[in-house]
Amino acid sequence: MSDAALQIAELRAALAAQTATAEAAQARAQAAEAELVQVRALASCTEAMIQELKLEIAKLRRDKYGISSERRARLIDQLELQLEELEAAATEDALAAEAAAAADTTSTVRAFTRRKPVRKPFPDHLPRERVVIEAPTTCGCCGSDCIVKMDEDVTETLEVIPRQWKVIQTAGPTHPPVL
């Protein structure tokens, strides 16, 4: 390979790395912007709730102590107006947060498989009682009596009898998956 071809290959690799870095930075910036919008929505909702509680306190004080001046009535009216403005701003912020969250759903999330919880088996020294549930003898769909037992599910539950412990095993046929 010549010197120029090697240099071109290095420049292409550097360009690809810079492009990937820029895309990652842009994705982080979009995520940060969406989070900022959500935080603003939460802050405005909280501020509206605080103002609503202040208004309620003022009304309760007026009810408790009576009408002491016109100033208090004007103050309550002013608080009501501020509350309406804050609720409108909180609604706008919440809608902006939903729009930002909807725009941010294009990011890729790594897939995972949910593991079933694993419980330790009961100790072997406990006595066991086996209860067998008989499988059906005919098919529920077509009525055929050509049913073959393939496998069984065994469920163990711990039963407490005063001063006595035993494990009850319940075995039944394995049901085919329903489609």
Domain positions in the chain are 3-106, 128-173
Q: Does 70 score more than 70 pLDDT?
A: no
| Model-wide pTM > 0.85 | no
Instruction: Report pLDDT digits (tens) over 93-121.
Output: 877 777 777 766 555 666 767 777 677 88
What pLDDT was estimated at residue 77?
Answer: 75
Res. 66: pLDDT tops 80: no
pLDDT digits (tens, 9 = 90+) for 151-176: 888 888 888 878 778 888 888 888 77
Report pLDDT digits (tens) over 20-62.
899 989 888 888 888 888 888 888 778 878 877 777 777 777 7
- What is the Cα–Cα distance from 143 to 137, expressed in whole angstroms? 9
